[in-house]
Structure 1
Amino acid sequence: MDHTTISLTELVGKAKMQLDLLGYADGTKKHYALKWDHFLIYAEQHGHTHFSKEIGDAFLADYYGIKTGKKLSVSQVFTVRTVAVLGELLADNCFRKCHQRIGKQPPPQFCDILGHYEKQQQEKNLSTRTICGKKNILIRFLSHLDKQGITDITCLTSHEVLSYLPTLEKYRNNTRSGILFSLRNFLLFLYSEGYLSEPLNDLFPVIFSYKFERLPSYYSTGEVHAVLCQVDRNTKIGRRDYLILLLAVQFGMRAGDIRQLKFEHIKWSRNTVEFVQQKTNSTLQLPVTEELKYAVADYMKNSRPEADDPHIFVRHRAPFQPFVGSNTFYHVINKYMALAEIKLNGRKHGLHSMRHSAASNLLQNHTPYPVITGILGHLNTETTKLYLRIDIQQLRTVALEVPDEK
């Protein structure tokens, strides 16, 4: 699209066509059109015939009293969006779904080095999720170095590394261990790639892991059933939510895998669901139960928006796109837990708690460990054995008798 020749009036016309193509509701389109009409009048009054960010900001400030850097109401956020999408359409010939904050970025002087590290991790075939987690940890570390006045990574010494450790005291032991593992790996990379002449990774010869520090949060069969019973399957959102919960409850699927599930992953001829897990990059094959078959069919026939997208789950508001990578369906599980009046008692209550609950319920049914390992997609049974700590019934069978005191 030619930025210099297309007029603001033409741009607004194209924007209205874009709303039609994306399937926006009539009411929403009217709200957009009203804001754009106001914008056209304002621009004409001030002698502007083409769009620019400056005229957009001036319009928001003068016409609606909206200024950048201020906390906005819901209606103000929408008004800002109506102007922002014009800029996107002009620059990229499309709208973004929503306007989220850009994630934290590394200090400019460390962008190249972090990019090099990220590329190396990709070459090792680590999952995108794992690499993203490491990257977020290292951005915090590099930001600390920036505050310490480090402008060149080759100038890094043990002093700056050790000065970072007190900032980790606020984290739980297990989280802190994970941060240190990532930091040690990055320092090894810096040394092996010649950025550092001293192996600063040797500062952490041993990192204690606290896998057994906390018990996994799980819910009983009765509690899980109560949650599912609260879903209104007569509504479009309810059918979608029920299917999401069923995948988590029956198979212990992670939120990321549910989010990325595609039609091609359901093998109807074999009655299986087959996909590559985000966390481990390993293929997992699960059976399709009759209940799951019905839930999928009900959602596809009666709820899913008509969207030309391979993902099973898409947003129910236009544009009908798949959920973003950061969405863990936290609001879905919490909505129905609240309706079911589940007492949390300090337990975690995200969708991942349903994964722990699935493991617990399988254990209670005396399911062999290799079978549970296969269902949960663990790479080995040692990971599955972590759930031994919540198998209360089995633990009681091996309890030692306490001798009477005489």
Structure 2
Amino acid sequence: MSSLESVQVEYTRYLEKERNLSEHTIRAYLGDLEGFLQHLEKQKVDDVASITIAHIRSWLANQQVKGGARTTLSRRAVSIRLFTKWATKKGYLNKDVGATLATPKGHRTLPEVLSVVDASTAMDSLATRVAEEETPLSKRDCAIVEVLYASGARVSELCGLDLDDVDYNRNTIRVLGKANKERTIPLGGPAIKALNDWLKNARPSVATDKSARAVFLGSRGGRIDQRTVRTVVYEALSALEGVERMGPHGLRHSAATHLLEGGADLRTVQEILGHASLATTQIYTHVSTERLQKAFKQAHPRA
């Protein structure tokens, strides 16, 4: 007999040490498992070996009644399937009761993206701010937004950039993505120019003994954090007409969409974004189609 609590501790170690998952993913999986185990306790189930497919289905049904989104239910089903597969392999379950669990299909929400004109306007306004203010942080903020839009990098990847990751000969940056997968991303001329301006003409005046090799720094000299980057992007895009509150991920979506609209193939965009699956990248083809249809309806007299 294995208590739910002791198995949960062992499973946590498995996710952290063996699966090499991101901190965010581990937190989501453990949150789902915690909810499921609480449901089991209410069902008077205190032994892992007693878990059945009916327990899992009743938990998911309970979540649905409470208004859980289909995408959330889908993720929770995946979480529990991973847990039961592990528990079976470890001998806590006689058979994998979650293997036959169907995953609720989530509605795919198409990401909001900037138009090419809006993206250009945002970059131009940042360059204007740099020219007017000539402050280290204005140069930093301009470089941050330019690099995010040029590369489609995740905010965590941008914050993790070190000086050695910038290659001026090839105009590329090297980032560490999910599951510690490294990839190289090309940057365009404006992004390289803004980055070079920050690193050579502004970073030295902000740097302290806490800066180490970090490319982007906070106002106190330490490596910049994700919250600060989000604030920078929010403020940079806030003046654009008709654009809802958009953060770094919106720039990532915009970069991917504009690459595809410009003729890049899916495999190339997949490589740039660091997607493990091509299916994840394909959502941007739907975004482009929607934008095409919208433009057609607005512009064609017989639309």
Task: Quickly name the TM-score band, shorter chain normalised.
Answer: 0.7 to 0.9
Query: 1: CA distance between counterparts of 2:158 and 2:18?
Result: 26
After TM superposition, give the deviation of residue 183 of structure 1 in Å. Answer: 1.5
After TM superposition, give the deviation of residue 220 of structure 1 in Å. Answer: 0.4
Selected match of 2:111 from 195, 208, 216: 216
After TM superposition, give the deviation of residue 360 of structure 1 in Å. Answer: 1.5
Greater helix proportion: 2
Query: 2: CA distance between counterparts of 1:308 and 1:202?
Result: 48
Q: How many residues align?
A: 280
* TM-score, normalised relative to structure 1: 0.60
Correspondence list, 1:358-369, <5 A: 358-369=255-266
Contact persistence 1:262–1:311 (CA under 8 A): yes
Contact persistence 1:364–1:393 (CA under 8 A): no
SS in 1 for 2:98: helix
Correspondence list, 1:262-281, <5 A: 262-277=162-177, 279-281=178-180
Residue identity matched to 1:210: G
Contact persistence 1:187–1:199 (CA under 8 A): yes
Query: 2: CA distance between counterparts of 1:321 and 1:139?
Result: 35
Correspondence list, 1:44-83, <5 A: none
Deviation by residue 1:213-234 (Cα, 9 ceiling, x = unmatched): 3222211012222333443323
Change (3 A) 1:174 1:266: same
Residue identity matched to 2:281: T
Change (3 A) 1:139 1:259: farther
After TM superposition, give the deviation of residue 252 of structure 1 in Å. Answer: 0.8
Selected match of 2:14 from 116, 120, 123: 120
> Is 1:244 aligned to residue 144 of structure 2?
yes
Query: 2: CA distance between counterparts of 1:295 and 1:228?
Result: 10
Query: 2: CA distance between counterparts of 1:217 and 1:381?
Result: 20
After TM superposition, give the deviation of residue 164 of structure 1 in Å. Answer: 2.3
SS in 2 for 1:197: coil
Change (3 A) 1:172 1:274: same
Query: 2: CA distance between counterparts of 1:370 and 1:357?
Result: 17
Counterpart in the other structure of 1:311: 214
After TM superposition, give the deviation of residue 160 of structure 1 in Å. Answer: 4.3
Larger radius of gyration: 1
Residue identity matched to 2:249: H
After TM superposition, give the deviation of residue 178 of structure 1 in Å. Answer: 1.4
Change (3 A) 1:364 1:159: closer
Correspondence list, 1:179-328, <5 A: 179-202=76-99, 204=101, 206-210=102-106, 213-231=108-126, 232-233=129-130, 234-277=134-177, 279-300=178-199, 301-303=201-203, 304-306=206-208, 307-317=210-220, 320-323=221-224, 327=227
Structure 1, gaps ≥5 residues long: 1-108, 400-406
Identity value in percent: 24
Deviation by residue 1:239-280 (Cα, 9 ceiling, x = unmatched): 222222112211111111112111221133443212231x25
SS in 2 for 1:191: helix
Residue identity matched to 1:322: R
CA RMSD of aligned residues (A): 3.1
After TM superposition, give the deviation of residue 157 of structure 1 in Å. Answer: 4.6
Query: 2: CA distance between counterparts of 1:368 and 1:156?
Result: 46
Change (3 A) 1:199 1:251: same
Contact persistence 1:255–1:328 (CA under 8 A): no
> Is 1:349 aligned to residue 246 of structure 2?
yes
